[in-house]
Structure 1
Amino acid sequence: MNAGDPHVSRLGTSALLFEAPGETDLPTQRRIWSLAREAETWPEVREAVPGVNNLLLSFGKPPDRITALETRLVAAWREAAPLPLDGRVFELPVVYGGAGGPHMADVVEHTKLSPDEIAAIHSAPVYPVYAVGSHPGYCYLGGMDTRIATPRRKVPVLRLPGGSVSIGGAQTGVSASDGPSGWNTIGSTCMRFFDATRDPPALLQPGDSIVFKIAGVLR
């Protein structure tokens, strides 16, 4: 297999994982969305779930010809055109630093930038939602400025509150609910990302976007 080839792996007999080649970026992610739209129409496929640079296909029953399906999936990827999903834009007010941003000092130490500079850089982009996963309602976002990229924490935090705005490596995200995290939390926001009584339950979907607005920078 060449470096530019996609990779397909079997997850038992109930699913396939397709992994796209190359870097994680919006054009690649739009092709993943396109591939998901195509694959979910196939009779063997129960669900097509886009991830970051990957696609999970699950089956109601094991396909009779799994090798043929793998070949079909790769062929569909080669034909897939980027899907221009122009979703909704959500503005999230963020209080940076303070009790809601307990790891701001670590990001300051790593980047050599001030809290105000980090808040300004972090809130500048429009972040596209690449995929939804990890925990219900959580969004994987693209587009963070590499100037504030900070390695994940060596020791994860066992419980961060929902609405925690964090940086992990070259990515940023917002915790949709209370739970553990190995990312660096730099602020907090108030948004209900998941409601089981809503249709769909997750507030944001791939193709939507988030804009962070500075509501304050605390020391």
Structure 2
Amino acid sequence: MFLNAGSVVRGVMVLLAVASLLSWTILIAKSVELVRVRLALSRAERVLGEANTLNLGEEWTRDRGGIAHRLVMAAEAEREQSQDIPDDREGLKERIVLHLERLEAAEGRRLMRGTGLLATIGATSPFVGLFGTVWGIMTSFTGIAASKATSLAVVAPGIAEALLATALGLVAAIPAVVIYNHLARQSAACRAQVADLTSLVMRLVSRDLGRMQAPTTSGQIVRLGTTRDARTAGGE
């Protein structure tokens, strides 16, 4: 049926076959990527959950890299840039939250990268297949008119070849839509983990700010970002 179809219909079929192949390729590639990301995020959650200060969190996530380290470094950078602003704990928290939200949104866009092609394939493949079918039927009717033969044996093969394009369009579109929804759910789960990391980083920031204001036994103030507890700092 493919070989007997016209050149336009064959081109449409080849295009739909390539689109279907791309859908399955994206599924495999993104699934592997998202599994790795989720494992890395889970490890980062454990590390930041065990850390007691922001400096310690930065040290523990340094070798792992990834979004967790970028979040910690963003909080560190904003904290250092705000050292000349006195008594601005709430303002510092707000600025850090804004910076972390930008990083979180950028990570969400990165996780969804490549899935837009799936949406395009799922939305356009049926119409591309329909175009191939309409063109094939037009060609068949033109041939029938030229041959002046109206028997079913003459009409049926051309129409069947044309309808194959619509079938291939559905074969390409349905998996693409299912794959897109699956990857969207997986990406949403990863984004939720990134949001959890943001909360953990803000918890460390809040702890450090609290220590900065907490007087030691000798009346001294613990510096922001120290990795030692108040008792040790007071004894020095």
Question: TM-score by structure 1 length?
Answer: 0.22
Which has the larger Rg?
A: 2
User: Which structure is higher in strand share?
Assistant: 1
Q: Choose between structure 1 and 2: higher helix proportion.
A: 2
Higher relative contact order (CA 8 A, sep 6+): 2
- TM value normalised by structure 2: 0.21
